Amino acid sequence: MSAPSLDCPVCLDIFVDPRIIECGHSFCLKCLTMSPVRCPVCRHQSDTPSRTLPINYALKGIIEDLRASAILAPAPPPCALCSQPALTHCRNCSLRMCAGHTEEHNRSPFMQKHKVDSSKQQRPRCAQHEEELKLYCEACSKLICSLCFPLEHQSHRILAIPEAAGKARERI
């Protein structure tokens, strides 16, 4: 049996407010906009309004636990100019922007030389050493940098982040 996915089969993102429909499949509430609800996986039709569908607390708890332990990336921050998820960050303006505002920003002749990074290029950094967080300490349940390891976590079990994420998914 394979581990359950943390991704909604409709939006393909990590579940947000996961709801269980009558056939047993789960989806983000925002992805269940039609009434009646028709399951995109098995095509089962439900007359239950999407807002009254039960929350998948097991899935929601797993996602919250993984986010809290920093194994799963936190939800993206909002765009500084609207409420959409930020996909980019301008180093010059220090603004996080959604796709639409990034496009507007890049079209402006005044901002042609600005350095805009995708959010995926931005890696979390150690508050103490300003180094990229690349390791996971199982004893402390937190991400650490390579300088923290010999100073504070020498006797702890340390994993590379992808390995720690794989183990967490296996536990699901």
Say if residue 30 is in the same domain as residue 57: yes
Sign of CA dihedral 22, 6, 137, 144: negative
Say if residue 85 is in the same domain as residue 64: no
Q: Report strand pairing: 142-144 vs 37-38.
A: unpaired
pLDDT tens digit sequence for 118-142: 765 556 667 777 677 888 888 888 8
* Last residue of one domain, picked from the residues 33, 48, 68: 68
* Residue 98 maps to a domain: yes
* Total residues found in the chain within this entry: 172
Say if residue 78 is in the same domain as residue 117: yes
- Evaluate whether 97 touches 76 at the Cβ level (below 8 Å): no
* Residue 129 maps to a domain: no
Say if residue 63 is in the same domain as residue 77: no
* Residue 10 maps to a domain: no
Half-sphere exposure of 74 (CA within 13 A, CB side): 11
* Residue 57 maps to a domain: yes
* Residue 99 maps to a domain: yes
* Residue 97 maps to a domain: yes
Q: Report strand pairing: 88-90 vs 116-118.
A: antiparallel
Q: 32 in helix, strand or coil?
A: coil
Say if residue 82 is in the same domain as residue 60: no
Q: What is the pLDDT of residue 30?
A: 82
Beta strands in 41-153 (DSSP E): 45-46, 88-90, 95-97, 116-118, 135-137, 142-144
φ, ψ for residue 20 (rounded to 5)?
A: -100, 130
Say if residue 144 is in the same domain as residue 117: no
Structural domain for 77, as ranges: 73-122
* Residue 114 maps to a domain: yes
Using CA atoms, how far residue 23 sits from 47, 125, 164, in Å, is 12, 43, 32
Q: 160 in helix, strand or coil?
A: strand
Residue linked to tokens 């100019």: 81
Low-confidence spans in the chain with pLDDT less than 50: 1-3
Say if residue 77 is in the same domain as residue 118: yes
Residue linked to tokens 């709801």: 19
State how far the Cα of 156 lies from the Cα of 104, in Å rounded to an integer: 48
- The number of folded domains in the chain is 3
Say if residue 22 is in the same domain as residue 64: yes
* Residue 31 maps to a domain: yes
Say if residue 108 is in the same domain as residue 142: no
